[in-house]
Amino acid sequence: MATKEEIVKSVPQTGFFGHPKGLFSLFFTEFWERFSYYGMKAILIYFMYDTVQNGGLGLDKATAASIMAIYGSLVYMSGIIGGWIADRILGTRRTIFWGGILIILGHLSLAIPGGLTFLFASMILIILGTGLLKPNVSSVVGDMYAEDDTRRDAGFNIFYMGINAGAFISPLIVGAVQKEYNYHVGFSIAAIGMAIGLFMYTHKQKQKLGLAGLEPKNPLNIQERNSILKKFIAAVIIVAVLVVIAAMSGMLSIGSVVNFFTVIGLLAPIAVFIWMFTSKKTKKEEKSHLLAYIPLFITSTMFWVIQEQGSTILAAYIDTRTDLTMGSFKIPAAWFQSLNPLFIITMAPIFAWIWVRMGKRQPSTPIKFAFSLLFAGVSFLIMIIPAITSGGKELISPWWIVLSFFLVVVGELLMSPVGLSATTKLAPAAFAAQTMSLWFLTSTAAQALNAQFAKLFAKITEVQYFGYLGGASVLLFLVMLILSPWISKKMGNIR
């Protein structure tokens, strides 16, 4: 098996803004993958609750928002499977390729007007495909640089810009196409995007990526393979039997599936923590790091609870409660989904500059995490003002949404770019291959909670809803501020 040095040597080390040539391929693979994901997501909730006459599925809004949330939860949970397959069976590069294929098929399923069956088929394909692709693309980025390469962080920052550039452009295009034609033409744009991404990925791959991500790092031996195959077949049979029993006893409904996956989405991170904490491979000092990571994990979960509602609860709110007319033009509601990535792209360099200027005086990771919750909380609390002044009935100005999204992004920039590196540093070394999945589990847990909050939104007033969740976030901010010295101590010399 190739060593780290051999892999780094096999990758042309310049050719893309002073970065390895392969960064060009991976940047655009992820750009187009996120283009397809966020483009689809920008119109999906509208497709679900729009009337059948308008080409939608006619679901009620709370159900649509719950499905969106559980879908998002599973999209990030499946990274566990994707990471494992890359690590033990296929190698990262091949896993990414198959992920891309599944994602294209997933978007194509929605391009066909086929009702709920095609919606669910598409979701399953995209959940699996994204799990195979997304965490693995990031890990090949890491593979291209030597451990001590000073360009590494900058490489990841460029990559992060690719994510958000894709997320910025697609809602504009998909939203406009959906308005001009229909939902299915919109979804086919997402499929085309992923197809371009897959082309960019495979084109001259050998020259650009060398040996990076080619072989599984920890391949299964024959015995392991046989025993896992047996367990897998047994699990499939058990799940199939349970589904049949649930269907026959009338328990299989959208609601019960949503509730089931809410529980799974919350149990998954707990199980991973217990597994890491009790593992013999985890050293004493690493246990202390893991304890420090728990409050950071909870903080980031609370943050994503609010951030992710931008494309579910707030997306529905934009459509039904804001005044989108500008003269004779009606702004497509989907366009608002471009605001978050637009703010990210424009403000990320400012934040990077501030941290460089502050150098060692910059706030510690726990403090940055804490403040992300303050901004997220205030982004919801300010929504109480239009809720009151409009009496919950009159249409509100879309500028409230712009302001709310802006505040979320300030919080996002305090947490998201440092989150993965904090996870990498705090997870026990024996679990290095799982750290990417561990970080994504914060988004999994958040959206599992959102699946339940979506039902709450339908039951209480807007003032109560924004007040409770915004208030909870601010409260957690205060708790985190108090805890931060303890967390820093437990983190040892890691900042």
For ligand ASP, the closer of residues 297 and 336 by Cβ is 336
Residue 19 burial by CB count (10 A; 0-12/13-18/19+): exposed, middle or buried? Answer: buried
309 touching ligand GLU, by CB under 6 A: no
Angle, CA 29 vertex, CA 25 and CA 31 arms, to 5° = 115
CA distance 242 to 70: 20
CA distance 477 to 455: 25
Write out the two tokens for 330. Answer: 């009606």
For ligand GLU, the closer of residues 198 and 214 by Cβ is 198
CB of 8 to ligand GLU, least distance (A): 25
Question: Binding string, 19-38, against ligand GLU, x = CB under 6 A?
Answer: ---------------x----
422 touching ligand GLU, by CB under 6 A: no
**# chain residues binding ligand GLU, by CB under 6 A:** 6
437 touching ligand GLU, by CB under 6 A: no
CB of 370 to ligand GLU, least distance (A): 18
Q: Which residues pair with 329 in a beta bridge?
A: 326
- 170 φ, ψ (degrees, to nearest 5): -65, -40
Helices 313-321 and 435-459, axial angle in degrees (round to 10): 40
365 touching ligand GLU, by CB under 6 A: no
For ligand ASP, the closer of residues 41 and 94 by Cβ is 41
What lies within 8 Å, CB to CB, of 344 at 6+ separation is 164, 409, 412, 413
443 touching ligand GLU, by CB under 6 A: yes
209 touching ligand GLU, by CB under 6 A: no
For ligand GLU, the closer of residues 400 and 440 by Cβ is 440
Tell me the residue number closest to ligand ASP, measured at CB. Answer: 167
- 7 φ, ψ (degrees, to nearest 5): -65, -50
Interacting residues with ligand GLU between 146 and 165 (CB under 6 A): 163
340 binds, among ligand GLU, ligand ASP, none (CB under 5 to 8 A by kind): ligand ASP
For ligand ASP, the closer of residues 76 and 453 by Cβ is 76
443 binds, among ligand GLU, ligand ASP, none (CB under 5 to 8 A by kind): ligand GLU
**Residue showing tokens 């020259």:** 207
Residues that bind ligand ASP (CB under 6 A): 38, 163-164, 167, 340-341, 344, 412, 416
Annotate 27-56 with three-state secondary structure. Answer: HHHHHHHHHHHHHHHHHHHHHHHCCCCCCC
Question: Please, are residues 88 and 229 in contact by the beta-carbon 8 Å criterion?
Answer: no
CB of 344 to ligand GLU, least distance (A): 8
103 touching ligand GLU, by CB under 6 A: no
Question: Please, are residues 444 and 261 in contact by the beta-carbon 8 Å criterion?
Answer: no
For ligand ASP, the closer of residues 36 and 164 by Cβ is 164
For ligand GLU, the closer of residues 262 and 340 by Cβ is 340
For ligand GLU, the closer of residues 32 and 49 by Cβ is 32
Question: Please, are residues 138 and 96 in contact by the beta-carbon 8 Å criterion?
Answer: no
Helices 61-77 and 115-144, axial angle in degrees (round to 10): 30
Of the candidates 196, 97, 107, 77, the one whose C-alpha atom is nearest the C-alpha of residue 140 is 97
For ligand GLU, the closer of residues 97 and 440 by Cβ is 440
Helix (H, G, I), strand (E, B) or coil at 328: coil
CB of 451 to ligand GLU, least distance (A): 15
CB of 229 to ligand GLU, least distance (A): 32
- 220 φ, ψ (degrees, to nearest 5): -70, 140
Binding site for ligand GLU (CB under 6 A): 34, 163, 304, 416, 440, 443
